[in-house]
Structure 1
Amino acid sequence: MSSFDVEETLAKLSLPDKIRLLCGLGWWHTEPVPSAGIPSMRMSDGPNGVRGTRFFNGVPSSCFPSSTGLGSSFDVDLARKVGEALADECRAKGAHILLAPTVNTQRSPLGGRSFESFSEDPNLNGLIAAAYINGVQSKGVSATIKHYVANDQEFERFSISSDLSERALREIYLKPFQLAVKHSDPWALMSSYNRVNGLHVSEDKRLLEDILRKEWEYKGMIMSDWIGVYSTAESIKAGLDLEMPGPTVMRGRAVERALIAQKLFPSDIDARVRKILELLKRAFASGIPFDAPEKGADTPELRQLLRTAAADTIVLLKNKKNVLPLNTGIKKLAVIGPNAKAAMTSGGGSARLLESWTVSPLEGIHAWLKEAGSSAEVNYTIGATSHKYLPLLNSLTYGDDETNGGVLQFWNEKPIDDFMSLNPKLEAPRKPTAWSCSSTVTNIFLIDGVDSDKVDPSCYIRYVTTFIPDESGDWRIGLNVSGTGNLFIDDKLVVDLSTNPPPGNTFVGFGTAEVSNVAKGLKAGQKYKVEIRISNIELVEKGLPFPCWGGLRLGGIKVVDDEEALNDAVQLAKDSDAVVLVVGLNHDWESEGFDREDMELPGLSNRLVSEVLRVNPKTVVVNQSGSAVTMPWIDEASTVLQAFYGGNELGNGLADVIFGKVNPSAKLSLTFPKRLEDVPSYPSYGDKGQELGKILYNEGIFVGYRGYQIKNVAPMFPFGHGLSYSNFQYSDFQCTPISSDGEGKFTITFTIKNTGRIDGREVAQVYIHQSLSSLPRPKREMKGFVKVALKAGEDKQVKVDLDREALGFYDDRQMCWVAEKGKFDILVGASSEDIRLEGQTKLNETFTWTGL
């Protein structure tokens, strides 16, 4: 409906209808008003994939690499292509609004959602986000930049106050949002859960109206994070258009009462509804149907983009002995590690989705060698376990039709007296089920996907599946539930979570801790009946902020003696010509809802790496994590790759890099410190250093690499670091004078030459420093970057245009941006520490500005 008229529609809406529009309909839709021609817009998470409208039993989705990986590509063209592909999947799933990208600044590697943001640097963060947004919106889908602002930890995320200076707020935390607004105009923005300097963002008029809408001239719609509205009149007056999710908690009848009390006026309601209708006009123009059935996306072009993205987000940290690329003529290759056989596609929380397919590192290596016609013998062993929760049993559980999955049955009333008993009667329940369905996964969170017309939230659930082990031996089987529950194998109680279940962090904080026991003497290929019985009644009685029918997480692993597993790995490494050792974290360790406790790799991972390196120096260590980890073995390792979370095609992308089909070109979008104590935000982060519900951003503007440089603390790997199978030479630096028209425009040029023997790509980074200024400034600030493709022996002249953004700082004495006259050092480097060219330019007169 291209003719949809916002003002005409607004004028004919009744006040009750307007109030209704101020809150969502359920988790993923806006409220419709059919009588006024207003349908319901659909939304979907998230930053690395389009889940659709269901956490449970949704349509499978493409999973792209985590945002820290995409940021590390330093590739705005790739970011735009990823955005376009996400928009295509939004269209397939009937979604008008994508709840992404995330651009919160990474203050600390401990942040549970660090993997969701692009970088610790505001310039890189904002420009990659802008390219991503432009890609999404080029297909008529609204992007939603989030979480505005200073939402940088998970600890007490609904209430914590991020206390920081105006200068730090402007230069570091608001800057990526500002750049994205300037270069991409996101059609929607999501406010954050937290407070900033004492006031919740969702009711902060200065942040939402004065800065965002007036100073930056932002025209889009502002929605809350889910259950992130804590007031009625205040949030509406502040400029928050839409409360999510529905049904409303802070609006509805409360708005009617505020109008009676004249805390609100009809004009306040109109201002909010107008923004929702303006976004609806874009939804009409997109041509995406309303209330459409959800479909998946799978084309050869999409598969290639997923593979390209996986490879192009891998950082070559070390290649000291030129072990990489591996020769396909190798005879015996060992693949070892807890992240080798399983595909760790993404971090946890709202970023998780049901992948349409996955390729693990082990699978990718096998496929690559087979396609290359190699006769190499590939052997695998785990070496060490690294799970926080037992690995899911998705691939080892089967329904009656012998396909992967299990059956869920629901009762609104207790079916038999001893349903949850430790000594149950296992005959069929006497009462008929209210509803039933199947599931292909063993991690089930029932906040959607349940027929709410038939099943009450206060319900009893039985999950039944057949478990077929792939290895003989003792198996440790574990269960987490949301509610209370018990697990039986062949009618024998194995796990009791109905008697004083211990609380845990699963299911967004509403789940139990994992409780496990050993099932002895299981045989590979034999069928075992698994039954889980859950009561959701106690959870509902405690009170939930959203509808939930319960949840379960079933995991298991063959019991392996730690020392035996490590010794097997060492022996295999010793007997092999080369080793690919894949370690790291996973979505259980890095997730929305909680922060990491430390930077360590889990279990015996570090010892495994050290022992394998000791017996086979031709070892490629691959680390998978969304943020930095410590590497106590780094000096012994000659060859290290940082793979982040690579999405569907992580295994194929990794194999492409390992065997040289792809020359790595990514560079770290965040600093890897040697130890946690070196992080600029330490110790004022998470539950450390907090003071009466607030966290002090005591590092000010010296976040990330700025903090290491100002304190002369050497990191393990600096921001912007990343190697190639080629070598690059920089020369011929030139810089034009700075314009005197108040725009501060100037241009630098230089030449890059590929002096290696294979084609490659180099990311050149431009840093600025002003030594004499009225306020302290970082030693270096990255203000530009460019990615250049060069054939072997080729050279190209590179041009980088800069303006006042590169010169200015925020002066909180004058409450404006200032570019002070004087000399500016221009540094061009292969990283923040590897500076190849230096020059100077001069600003003749000081000038100030506000806005974009």
Structure 2
Amino acid sequence: MAGTRTQADAAREAVVEAALARLDLDAKARLLSGQDTWTLPALPEIGLPSLVMSDGPIGVRGVHWTADDPSVALPSPTALAATWDPGLARRAGVLLAQEARRKGVHVLLAPTVNLHRSPLGGRHFEAYSEDPYLTGTIGAGYVNGVQSGGVGTTVKHFVANDAETERFTVNNTVSERALRELYLAPFEIIVENAHPWGIMTAYNTVNGTTMTEHHHLVNEVLRGEWGFDGYNVSDWMAARDTVAAIEGGLDVAMPGPQTVYGEALARAVRDGEVTEAKVDEAVRNVLRIAARVGILEGAEPVVTELPEAVDGAGLAGEIARRSFVLVRNEGALPLRPNGSVALIGAAARDARVLGGGSATVFPDRIVSPLEGLTAALPEGALTYAVGADPNTELGVADKGFELRAVCRDAQGNVIGTGSAPNGQIQWMGDDLPEGVTHDTLHTVELTGTFTPRATGPHTFGIKGIGAFELTIDGTTYYDDVQRPAKEDPFAAFFGAPVPRAQPELTAGEPVEVSLSHVVEFPEDTPMKVIGFMLAHQEPQRDPDELIAEAVEAARDADTAVVVVATTDRVESEGFDRKDLTLPGRQDDLVRAVAAVNPNTVVVVNSGSPVELPWREDVAAVLLSWFPGQEGGAALADVLTGAHEPGGRLPTTWGSLTDAPVSRVVPTDGELPYTEGVFIGYRAWEKEGRVPSYPFGHGLGYTDWTYESAEAEGTTVTVRVRNSGERAGREVVQVYLAPTEADADRPARWLAGFAGVEAGPGETVEAVVGLPRRAFEIWDEKASSWTFVKGSYEIQVGRSIADRRVATTINV
């Protein structure tokens, strides 16, 4: 199922077997254990250099958490899915392979294909959709693109890692049918259609077995039924038990140097707890991906002719434009030619272009909405007001800070210095400044200057665990030890900063800042990580005054454009959301602006759904997701009409009160998926609830008339006509609905889609093939797929709720 073996595959396999035969037990066990945070050990005796992995999925950071080696930052995965274009996803993958090769990376730790089970999932911006078919199809395009560039992927997080709360230990209890039809489905689609070279198993437990030890799901389903022949790497620090992990099909335990493999695995073989043949299976999988990416001596890589070079900034902008979803437009967009615009919102000035956590990269430039519109509009047409700031909590020290990291030994001698793109230090493993070692390092000092943008009380804080000293403008405000509120191996990365100082500063006058941290490593730590943050918050002006200023700016403008946003304390890896409200006074801001300007456009800068209680009171609502480094320029293109917004919703947007599935918090360590196969639009329809905006919804700048739908076998041909006045692109969505209602099945589900383009008055055809799986359900008694015969209505339209034409087939 995973692909037909070619002559080249056979030749690579022969090299793999020959290399395997030359390794002793200790070398084999060592290869399966990370040597540091991002790499596997080299084995010179078989001509194998170190295999390098890197976080994705919107860019390739490489092995260093630094802006010294910048990365292209594409829009968030939710944005990519909103394009409903597997071809565009493939092009994104080609670019990321190009970036990976530039940074010496062999394997990208992406894509994330977990589902949006609940809108409260804090990391949903990093996954694609609530629908398994859309997720799998976009994911397959992405994997095919990356691997066409000779770089491996690790599709993650296998499986049911659909929330962040207690993610290391939670036991998700999921029916076999829901696993097969929903949560396993994207992985299966990708294995079948893209043949990924890697899979990453998740932290969580499924039905009582932690995923790094899940023999049934990994060995019997993934490898057995689906024919996956790549390598299986643990999520970082997820592997817990040597014997259970190797028996459960885990090939590589990351990160190193201390893992459950290596010496522990060799000892388990010698003690008779594990057969060496089982170790050989894992080593074979690792050598196979090494051969595929071209680093195993004697093996020809899969890709010998690289794709043409891709313009990263250009593609980032194209994906952003194509991903923006116009969910409401009462004639406000495109903007009126030569009209005045009041741009409002802190996020319009300080753009949020990517989500928090391990997906973070450092682009060499970021175009904010303010910069994008300033460049696009005539001089004097644009005014700006802050209005309301979503950053009601401390964030990383960034704007106005010029920092560097100074490393000292126990005697206070400087042993090395490193760059600091902002106030966050995140050094994993041996990722240290030149000349610095863990043995000699005692203290890291973030030091430099801060030039305030505003006069008043600036709040400074610290995120991290251990001893810190914070000094600002010559005054020491904190010299003590911070301790974690709870046991969490990533608390230093994902916890909240603690306020420690509030000096009065003057705009434009630089001050010296310093945050020193005494480095300590617990004896039992699996990897040495140095992570802490200097946090900052600007003086908080009276919110009512800021809103009043925005109202005055909006009153005098032809159009008011309000940019509202979430923050990295709302959407990030490491925690789930408590609600779906916009932080701060942003809802009040929108209402106040709309009250004085009927031509108010709201741009929603979030990675996943938020509540929009004012949506009927404004003229237009445009969802921009986390739009990547070119987001501001892309936004200007769409607002001015140079390009139409091309996105369709990959996930339902509605209120938390109405959301049918919302629970993400376990009870006594267990989270039951009691909703079965009913998540997303399936659940909204079952409960008879109407969301704010349905799955698949999205408007453009032209109109479309659906003329007919015809089915021949399981191939559907749809005729659509561009009945508007400008060229455009339409996403033709095909839903399958049993004509006889069945309470155990959704009323309808996405079975296929296609994008078409046409000029004004032109008619085009979309041809959509329906996969066999669209007609199947998982029979838990028989433990197999069952093709459900009968009559189905093929419903075609613009969203799950806007179905225009239909035809019936019998299968």
Counterpart CA distance in 2 for 1:204 and 1:775 is 31
Q: Offset at 1:388?
A: 5.0
1:815 maps to 783
Q: Out of 218, 237, 241, which is 1:227 matched to? A: 237
Whole-Å separation in 1 of the counterparts to 2:458 and 2:336: 38
**Where do 1:154-303 residues align within 5 Å?**
154-284=164-294, 301-303=311-313
**Alignment match of 1:88 (pick from 95, 98, 104):** 98
Residue from 580, 589, 598 that aligns with 1:599: 580
- Deviation, 1:285, is 6.9
Aligned mate of 1:484, from 467, 486, 507: 467
Query: Alpha-carbon deviation of 1:559?
Result: 3.1
The structure-2 alpha-carbon separation of the partners of 1:17 and 1:613, relative to structure 1 and needing over 3 Å to count, comes to same
CA deviation after TM superposition for structure 1 residue 58, in Å = 5.0
Is the 1:46–1:101 contact (alpha carbons within 8 Å) kept by the matching residues of 2? Answer: yes
Q: Which residue of 2 aligns with 1:713?
A: 689
Partner in structure 2 of residue 387 of structure 1: 391
Corresponding residue to 1:97 among 107, 132, 136: 107
| SS of 2:414 mapped into structure 1 | coil
C-alpha distance in structure 1 between counterparts of 2:406 and 2:252, whole Å:
36
Whole-Å separation in 2 of the counterparts to 1:389 and 1:444: 19
Tell me the alpha carbon deviations over residues 761-788 of structure 1, each in whole angstroms, 9 at most, x when there is no partner. 1111101112448771100100100111
Aligned residue number for residue 627 of structure 1 = 608
Structure 1 residue runs of 5 or longer lacking an equivalent are: 291-296, 398-404, 416-430, 738-745, 844-852
Counterpart in 1 of 2:752? 784
1:767 aligns with 2:735: yes
Is 1:805 aligned to residue 773 of structure 2?
Answer: yes
Match of residue 396 from structure 1: 400
Counterpart in 1 of 2:351? 343
The code of the aligned residue for 1:811 comes to D
What per-residue deviation string (whole Å, max 9, x for no partner) do you get for residues 780-830 of structure 1?
100100111111111112211123122111111111111122111110010
CA drift at 1:176 = 0.4
Q: Aligned runs of 1:542-581 on 2, under 5 Å?
A: 544-581=525-562
User: Would the alpha carbon gap of residues 460 and 301 (structure 1) be closer, same or farther in structure 2, given more than 3 Å must change?
Assistant: closer
What is the letter of the counterpart of residue 616 of structure 1? N
Q: 1:100-139 maps to which residues of 2 (within 5 A)?
A: 100-139=110-149
Q: Answer yes or no: is the 8 Å Cα contact 2:598–2:619 preserved in 1.
A: yes
CA deviation profile, 1:325-359 (whole Å, cap 9, x unmatched): 002301x3211112110121111101011112100
Q: Measure the CA separation in 1 of the matches of 2:573 and 2:761.
A: 46
Greater CA deviation, 802-811 or 202-211? 802-811
Is the 2:463–2:492 contact (alpha carbons within 8 Å) kept by the matching residues of 1? no
1:533-583 deviation line (CA, Å, top 9, x unaligned) = 22233xx34864421234223323133122211111112111222111000
Q: Distance in 2 between matches of 1:386 and 1:287?
A: 53
Q: Alpha carbons of 1:507 and 1:816: their partners in 2 closer, same or farther (altered >3 Å)?
A: closer
Given residue 695 of structure 2, which amino acid in structure 1 is its aligned partner? F
**Partner SS for 1:709:** helix
Q: Deviations over 1:714-768 (max 9, x none)?
A: 111100000111110001221124xxxxxxxx21112110101011111111011
The equivalences for 1:805-844 within 5 A come to: 805-843=773-811
CA contact (8 A) 1:826 1:841 kept: yes
In the TM superposition, 1:464-475 aligns within 5 A as: 464-475=447-458
Range with bigger deviation, 780-789 or 55-64: 55-64
* Per-residue CA distance 1:251-301 (angstroms, 9 max, x = gap): 1222133213322111111111000011111121799999xxxxxx99883
CA distance in 1, matches of 2:498, 2:150: 47
**Secondary structure of 2:622 counterpart:** strand
- Is the Cα–Cα contact under 8 Å of residues 580 and 620 in structure 1 kept in the other structure? yes
For 1:288 and 1:530, locate their aligned partners in 2 and report how far apart those are by CA, in whole Å: 54
Cα distance in 1 between the residues matched to 2:187 and 2:84: 18
Counterpart AA for 2:35: L
Q: Is the 1:458–1:536 Cα contact (8 Å) retained in structure 2?
A: yes
Q: For the residues of structure 1 that align with 2:309 and 2:597, how far apart are their CA atoms? A: 41
**Is it true that 1:410 corresponds to 2:407 in the alignment?**
yes
Structure 1 residue 407: Cα displacement: 2.6
Q: Identify if the C-alpha distance between structure 1 residues 227 and 505 changes in structure 2 by more than 3 Å, giving closer, same or farther.
A: closer
Counterpart of 2:363 (choices 355, 360, 366) is 355
Task: Give the whole-Å Cα distance in 1 for the aligned partners of 2:685 and 2:413.
Answer: 68
Match for 2:160 among 134, 150, 175? 150
Letter in 1 for 2:404: V
Which residue of 559, 563, 569 maps to 1:588? 569
Which 5+ residue runs of structure 2 have no aligned equivalent?
Answer: 1-7, 301-306
2:680 is aligned to 704
CA change 1:518–1:203 in 2 (3 A) is closer
Aligned residues with identical type, % of pairs: 36
**How big is each residue's C-alpha offset from its partner over 1:23-44, in whole Å with a ceiling of 9 and x where there is no partner?**
1121111111112211111111
Q: In structure 2, what is the Cα distance between the partners aligned to 1:542 and 1:383? A: 49
CA distance in 1, matches of 2:620, 2:487: 36
> Given the superposition, is the C-alpha separation of residues 521 and 148 from structure 1 closer, same or farther in structure 2, using an over 3 Å criterion?
closer
SS of residue paired to 1:83 = helix
> RMSD in angstroms over aligned alpha carbons?
2.4
Q: Say if 1:14 and 1:520 are closer, same or farther in 2 by CA, change over 3 A.
A: closer
Contact 1:41 1:283 (C-alpha < 8 Å) held by counterparts? no
Question: Once the 2 structures are TM-superposed, how far is the Cα of residue 180 of structure 1 from its aligned partner?
Answer: 0.6
Q: String of CA shifts for 1:198-241, please: whole Å, max 9, x gaps.
A: 10111111101100111011111111111111111111112111
Question: Contact 1:773–1:820 at 8 Å: present in 2 too?
Answer: no
TM-score where L is the length of structure 2: 0.94
1:437 aligned onto 2:418 = yes
Q: Once the 2 structures are TM-superposed, how far is the Cα of residue 158 of structure 1 from its aligned partner?
A: 1.0
Deviation string for 1:108-156 (max 9, x for gaps)? 1211210111110000000000011111111111111110100011111
Q: Distance in 1 between the 2:298 and 2:125 partners?
A: 30
Q: Deviations over 1:52-97 (max 9, x none)?
A: 1012455110110101111011011111110110111011111111
Shift of 1:508: 3.0
How many residue pairs are counted as aligned between the two chains? 792
Query: Match for 1:610: what amino acid?
Result: R
- AA matched with 1:201: M
The one-letter code matched in structure 1 to 2:442 is C
Query: Partners in 1 of 2:613 and 2:321 — Cα distance?
Result: 26
From the superposition, tell whether residues 768 and 21 of structure 1 become closer, same or farther in structure 2 (CA, over 3 Å).
Answer: same
In structure 2, do the counterparts of structure 1 residues 251 and 507 end up closer, same or farther at CA, with 3 Å as the change threshold? closer
Q: Which amino acid aligns with 1:47?
A: P
State the distance in 2 between where 1:835 and 1:173 align: 26
Amino acid in the other structure paired with 1:5? V
The question of 1:41 aligning with 2:51 is answered: yes
Aligned residue type for 1:725: Y
Contact 2:472 2:512 in 1 (8 A): yes
Which amino acid in structure 2 is aligned with residue 623 of structure 1? V
Deviation at 1:503, TM superposition (A): 3.8
Confirm or deny that 1:661 pairs with 2:642.
yes
User: Which one of 477, 480, 485 corresponds to residue 498 of structure 1?
Assistant: 480
1:55 equivalenced with 2:65 (yes/no): yes
Secondary structure of the 1:817 match is strand
- Secondary structure in 1 aligned to 2:807? strand
